[in-house]
Amino acid sequence: MARGGWVYVLTNKPDGLLYIGVTAEIAREKQLKNWKREWKIALIESDNPTWEPMATDPGSSPG
């Protein structure tokens, strides 16, 4: 099966609400939504340990 799209994790602040969304990979989104909060935080911190904003403009791409 070909993969495409993006899964994203948004938060309003550290230790705040975690929202998981998807642009095309619905199966991955459903998988992550079933993860424990601690696993989601570990995933975020593996790429962004200081919880820095990934995009300066909500409509822009990360990086």
pLDDT of residue 44: 92
As for how many domains the chain has, the answer is: 1
pLDDT of residue 55: 74
Assign 59 a pLDDT band (cuts: 50, 70, 90): low
Tokens for 20?
Answer: 């998981």
Nearest to 8 by CA among 39, 58, 19, 61: 19
Q: What is the pLDDT of residues 30-46, one digit of tens each?
A: 899 999 999 999 999 99
pLDDT of residue 58: 57
Q: Could you list the residue range(s) of the whole structural domain that residue 19 is in? A: 7-47
More confident residue, 60 or 18: 18
Tell whether the model's pLDDT for residue 14 goes beyond 90: no
Domain annotation covers residue 15: yes
Domain annotation covers residue 17: yes
